[in-house]
């Protein structure tokens, strides 16, 4: 059962589908690599399923023995194009600016490659808000394991045993990681997943429709 919410000492966010509207770009990245290996393109819906896991998890299933090589092709293409394709949800900038005034530590835990994540945060000018950011490959395991969430918290001297820590994400993978880490799971419904995904896995997070509703929830306890 989900614990009652309290004033958060920190809020960590997923990135793609939570603060960043990145599905069209990610679909393009996957299809670029598939084309290089003469594989059929995938639809937005298929990309939507793949994005829930890191590329280093998905590629062995798709490319088999060529997974490492394909991953290099993927990362090379993303590194050259990801900033020009970066799009945030319309309310994201105002949300981050207002949230930063509430004396709550903020950070990102994403399955996006760590170096790409940091560049995107900097490109948006959000490094002034975000104090602890972890991308794929920084922890021993990526989400849905709790490792990256716990690493992000430990970097700023927090632990779920002592502190109230929220984790906001848009997929059941995010909620699994939050529950496993002992963070408060907050599911935002404007992204890649929906409530039924949580129900299938026996998850019972707090639900918010979008960032505006999330701000109302934060202010209720802040």
- Percent of the chain exceeding pLDDT 70 equals 99
Write down the pLDDT at residue 181: 99
Q: What is the model's pTM?
A: 0.88
Q: Long-range contacts for 55-62 (Cβ within 8 Å, ≥24 apart)?
A: 55/113, 55/136, 56/136, 56/137, 56/142, 57/142, 62/34
Whether the CB-CB separation of 134 and 109 falls below 8 Å is answered with yes
For residues 118-139, average pLDDT: 98
Split at pLDDT 50, 70, 90, the class of 104 is: very high
Split at pLDDT 50, 70, 90, the class of 157 is: very high
Euclidean distance between the first and the last CA atom of the chain, given in angstroms as a whole number:
23
Write out pLDDT tens, residues 48-83.
777 667 788 889 999 999 999 999 999 999 999 999
Write down the pLDDT at residue 49: 76
Write down the pLDDT at residue 208: 98
Reply yes or no on whether the pLDDT at 163 is more than 90. Answer: yes
Split at pLDDT 50, 70, 90, the class of 26 is: confident
């Amino acid at each position: 059962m989900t614990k009652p919410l309290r004033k958060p000492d920190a809020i960590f966010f997923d990135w793609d589908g939570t603060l960043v509207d990145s599905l069209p770009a990610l679909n393009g990245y996957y299809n670029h690599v598939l084309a290089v290996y003469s594989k059929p393109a995938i639809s937005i819906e298929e990309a939507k399923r793949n994005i829930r896991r890191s590329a280093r998890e998905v590629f062995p299933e798709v490319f088999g023995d060529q997974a490492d090589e394909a991953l290099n092709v993927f990362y090379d293409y993303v590194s050259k194009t990801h900033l020009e394709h970066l799009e945030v949800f319309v309310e994201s900038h105002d949300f981050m600016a207002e949230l930063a005034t509430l004396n709550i530590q903020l950070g990102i835990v994403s399955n996006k490659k760590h170096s790409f994540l940091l560049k995107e945060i900097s490109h948006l000018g959000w490094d002034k808000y975000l104090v602890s950011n972890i991308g794929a490959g920084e922890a021993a395991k990526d989400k849905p394991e709790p490792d990256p969430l716990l690493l992000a918290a430990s970097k700023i001297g927090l632990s779920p045993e002592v502190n109230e820590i929220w984790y906001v994400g848009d997929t059941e993978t995010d909620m699994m990681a939050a529950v496993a880490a002992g963070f408060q799971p907050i599911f935002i419904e404007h992204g890649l997943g929906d409530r039924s995904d949580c129900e299938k896995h026996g998850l019972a997070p707090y639900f918010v429709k979008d960032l505006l509703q999330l701000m109302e929830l934060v202010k209720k306890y802040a």
